[in-house]
Amino acid sequence: MGFSGILVLVVIVFILVSLYFEIVGPGFTFVIAIAILGAFRILTPTEILAGFANEQIVIIIMLLMLGDVFQRTSVLDIFFDKVFKGAKTPKSFVARLMFVVAPISAFVNNTPLVALLMPYVHNWSTKNKVQLSRLLMPLSFATIIGGCATLIGTSTNLIVGGLVADQKIIPGLKPLQIFDFSSVGVPMIIIGAIYMIFIGDRLLLKRKVTVLQIPKNSRDYLFELQLKKGSEVIGQSRSESQFLKNAGFILVEVFREGIQYQQIDPDFTFNENDILIFAGQKEAIAELVNADKRRIIPSIGMFSKRNQSEIIEIVVSHKSSMIGKRLMYENFRGKYDATVLAVHRNGENLTGQIANIDVRAGDALLLMVGNQFDILAKSTQDFYIISKIKEIRRLGYFKTAVLIVGLPLIVILNVLGIIKLFTGVLVLLIITQLLKIVTPKDMAGSADYELAIIIALSLALGVAMIKTGVADTLANGLMYLFKPMGKYGALAGIYFITATLAGFITNKAAVAIIFPISLTLAIQLGVNPLPFILVVSFAAAANFMTPIGYQTNIMIYGPGGYKFKDFLRVGTPLTIIYMIVTVTILSLQYL
């Protein structure tokens, strides 16, 4: 193997150790590794940079941008509101997660989908007094299982698609198609759902943490709602109203025809036009403003009809001209293209209607602001902007239809061979710009450049392993190990090694290391290479055993109050089931 091969092995060990112990970030780990190989002339500059011209990398970045568009515009919010509305038990909720979210995840990137759904899961668990730990892991696993079903469902599959397109070992090997993964992926959506509903739920231990963790600096704000015609709260008592059991805010008092009610008994019945005063957390208020259409926050007015607005947090300065004045007289709308949603005063329990509160220095206000706010508030000394809480974008029917119909149409046209996936996604992104669904700045900010670096340099690592004979050496070792078990055992062995690596480093690094070995092993066995390609992708992407192996598992790890062993207990049986199904179907289909 020589010095070059030994150096490549050392670099691989460095990657594994750095990623496992988090010595440096994943992107920088690969930069250091490939820089070493370049410095010793194992890789040429052309070979190092070749990955950045890979079509699949660009598709991954564009799909992430498109996923961010869906998240920013809240197109999926309305759909999920209807999906989860009828869930009454934990099993029915998990069933909806598995059978609805998983198929969506086959075409929408996993990470923004989980970020979008976590508030829904949180609110449902609180309303129904169900441990959050029973719901968040099924959410993550649903997106992972669904993402494995198509080429575009997860970045791991796209990386493998890029590796196939760039490989030089097997001349004439056809690129992967969008539904090459579906023969395994679709049955596993059904099997995985059954497992999580009937077995996974029982394996999940009850945890003390049952709500999303709130930052220590979170504040309770005073805000108000007015019950308008059509609100389901009208005619309900306090004890009956599910809305009033929502997490994140509590009812303080009620104003009815000028009369203030501070003692709200359980049998107090709400009437149309009642003004309800709440104390709540800013995140809960922002979600309520975005989602609610029938409980009107009086101060919003015409803002409810705007296509784009933001909810921000400000603090009143000591030099402010507002100090000592009531909020009703401050004309935020005329001065700053903004309106006050809620008020917080540190150390005091505020009461009364928002408009009648006298402003003091240090008061924190939640504002809903329009497009002109940044310009109008640029030079003011009345307040300081603390943070942006939420961006709200309301699309018309036409723009919503473009997004909802656009992506499935691209998939269909790609399958029919009419357009390439790259072209279709690019055109859809351009349309979102022309229709001003998102701004160019927003789109540029949603690009995951570190992911592009990792994937491109992973391709270079694969080239180095093949050039130096490391791939052949490791493949021979695996051949010796799995030879008694035959080609089926080799397929299962590749799955096991890839899944183990992916569980303790990252799935992208596992793919980069194992792909050339698996492809070489298929050649040595003299069998169809396609199952040995697909098995690497499934093993790396279907990552359930650890919280660090997949980004959605990391997202739900803390909020769900999980421990490492929870993923081992629930995820290991699912991983074994996935391995058996994958090896069986791929063997029957290709070997």
Residue 421 lies in a domain: yes
Tokens matching residue 66: 């498109």
Residues 17 and 97 in one domain: yes
Residues 477 and 535 in one domain: yes
Q: What is the pLDDT of residue 248?
A: 62
Residues 192 and 88 in one domain: yes
Sorting pLDDT into bands at 50, 70 and 90, what band is 71?
low
**CA–CA distance, 11 with 5 (Å, rounded to integer):** 10
Tokens matching residue 390: 């939420």
Q: What is the pLDDT of residue 302?
A: 67
Residue 119 lies in a domain: yes
Residues 417 and 474 in one domain: no
Tokens matching residue 475: 């493949």
Answer yes or no: are the C-beta atoms of 389 and 366 closer than 8 Å.
yes
Residues 170 and 247 in one domain: no
Residue 112 lies in a domain: yes
**Residue 292 reports pLDDT greater than 80:** no
First to last CA, the chain: 31
Residues 174 and 253 in one domain: no
List Cα–Cα distances, 482 to 219, 486, 491, 505, 587, in angstroms: 59, 7, 9, 24, 16
**Residue 65 reports pLDDT greater than 70:** yes
Out of 30-34, 65-69, 112-116, 206-210, pick the least confident.
206-210
Residue 215 lies in a domain: no
Residues 330 and 405 in one domain: no
CATH of the domain at 329: 3.30.70.1450
**Residue 120 reports pLDDT greater than 70:** yes
Q: What is the pLDDT of residue 4?
A: 92
Mean pLDDT of 217-234: 80
Answer yes or no: are the C-beta atoms of 176 and 529 closer than 8 Å.
no
Q: What is the pLDDT of residue 212?
A: 42
**Residue 102 reports pLDDT greater than 80:** yes
Residue 190 lies in a domain: yes
Answer yes or no: are the C-beta atoms of 129 and 169 closer than 8 Å.
no
Sorting pLDDT into bands at 50, 70 and 90, what band is 295?
low
Answer yes or no: are the C-beta atoms of 116 and 76 closer than 8 Å.
yes
Which residue is associated with the tokens 């668990």?
A: 125
Residue 418 lies in a domain: yes
Say what the pTM is. Answer: 0.69
Which residue is associated with the tokens 């660009």?
A: 58
Residue 130 lies in a domain: yes
- Which structural domain range is residue 401 located in? 397-436
Residue 441 lies in a domain: no
Q: What is the pLDDT of residue 299?
A: 64
Sorting pLDDT into bands at 50, 70 and 90, what band is 365?
very high
Domain end (from 373, 406, 436): 436
Residues 574 and 559 in one domain: yes
- Phi then psi dihedrals of residue 253, to 5 deg: -160, 170
Q: Which residues contact 511 (CB under 8 A, 6 or more apart)?
A: 156, 159, 160, 163, 458, 498, 502, 536, 537, 540
Residues 344 and 410 in one domain: no
Split into its structural domains, the chain has a count of 3
Residues 192 and 340 in one domain: no
Mean pLDDT of 310-320: 88
Residues 193 and 274 in one domain: no
Domain end (from 414, 436, 458): 436
> Which pLDDT tens digit goes with each residue over 456-500?
887 788 888 888 988 888 878 877 887 677 889 889 999 988 998
Which residue is associated with the tokens 């927003």?
A: 442
User: How much of the chain exceeds pLDDT 90, in percent?
Assistant: 27
**CA–CA distance, 582 with 187 (Å, rounded to integer):** 10
Instruction: Please report the DSSP string for 215-267 in residue order.
Output: PTT--EEEEEEEE-TT-TTTT-BTTT-SGGG-TTEEEEEEEETTEEE----TT
List Cα–Cα distances, 70 to 5, 36, 74, 479, 551, in angstroms: 45, 40, 6, 46, 19
Residues 317 and 355 in one domain: yes
Mean pLDDT of 157-183: 87
**CA–CA distance, 399 with 38 (Å, rounded to integer):** 48
Out of 35-49, 301-315, 458-472, pick the least confident.
301-315
Answer yes or no: are the C-beta atoms of 467 and 7 closer than 8 Å.
no
Q: What is the pLDDT of residue 389?
A: 77
